Amino acid sequence: MKAWWPLIPLLALLAFSPVASAGGVDPTDFDEPGLEERYRALLHELRCTVCQNQSLADSDAGLARDLRRELRTQLNAGSSDDQIIDYMVSRYGQFVLYRPPFSPATYLLWIGPFVLLGLGFVVLYLTSRGSRQGARTTGVDSAARERARRLLGEGKDV
C-alpha cells in the first residue's frame, strides 16, 4: 500500500506507448501536395467495418484496403473531407466514424462517463461523511473490551 508511487512512471509509459500498428496506409501517389496529409487524417477518422476496433489506417483487411483506395480516388477527384465522410456515412452509417457526432443517439455515450464520475463523487462524499460520524459515535464499551482481552489471552495459551 505504501509503495504505490513508483508505479506512476510505469503506468504513464503504458498509457503513452505507441501501439504497434499492423495495418498499412498503402503506397500513395497523390498529384497535389496536401492531399497526403488529408488522406492520413481521414484514415484515422474512419472505422474499418469488418475489423471493428481498428481504423482504416490500422487495418489490413480486404475491405479496408478497398475503402482506402476509394478514399484516394475521391481525394484525387477533388472531394472535400466532408463530402468523403458523408459518402461513407450514407453507406455504412455513423458507425463508420471513429468519433461519433454529438446527437440524441449518442448523448449517453458522450455524457454517461461524466455522470458516473459525478455519481462516484457523491457516493464518496456520503460514505466518508458517514464513516466520520460513525467513528465519533460508536465507541466500544468497556465490558466488550474486557471480553476481547480475555479471549485474546486465552488464545495465547493454545
Partner 1 sequence: MKRLMYLLPMGLLLLLGLFLLIGLGLNPRLVPSPLVNQPAPGFELPALEEPERMVGSADFEGEVVLFNIWASWCVSCRHEHQLLVRMADRYGIPIYGLNYKDERRDGLEYLRAFGNPYVWNAHDLEGRVGIDWGVYGTPETFVIDGEGRIRYKHVGPLTWDKVQDDILPLVERLRSETL
Contact set with partner 1 (CB under 8 A): 49-50, 52, 62-63, 66-67, 70, 89-95
> Other CB atoms closer than 10 Å to residue 65's CB: what's the count?
16
Long-range CB pairs of 70-75, under 8 A, 24+ apart, other chains included: 71/39, 71/42, 71/43, 71/46, 72/26, 72/28, 72/30, 72/39, 75/30, 75/35, 75/38, 75/39, 75/42
Considering the complex, state which of residue 30 and residue 92 has its C-beta at the smaller distance from partner 1: 92
* Integer Cα distance of 129 and 107 in angstroms: 32
- Residues with Cβ within 8 Å of 83's Cβ and at least 6 positions away in sequence, in order, are 74
Closest approach of partner 1 to the CB of residue 39, in Å: 17
Amino acid, res. 58: D
Considering the complex, state which of residue 17 and residue 53 has its C-beta at the smaller distance from partner 1: 53
> Other CB atoms closer than 10 Å to residue 98's CB: what's the count?
15
Considering the complex, state which of residue 95 and residue 102 has its C-beta at the smaller distance from partner 1: 95
Considering the complex, state which of residue 7 and residue 50 has its C-beta at the smaller distance from partner 1: 50
Considering the complex, state which of residue 63 and residue 109 has its C-beta at the smaller distance from partner 1: 63
Closest approach of partner 1 to the CB of residue 86, in Å: 11
Closest approach of partner 1 to the CB of residue 73, in Å: 9
Closest approach of partner 1 to the CB of residue 22, in Å: 19
Closest approach of partner 1 to the CB of residue 75, in Å: 15
Q: Grid cell 455504412 — which residue?
A: 92
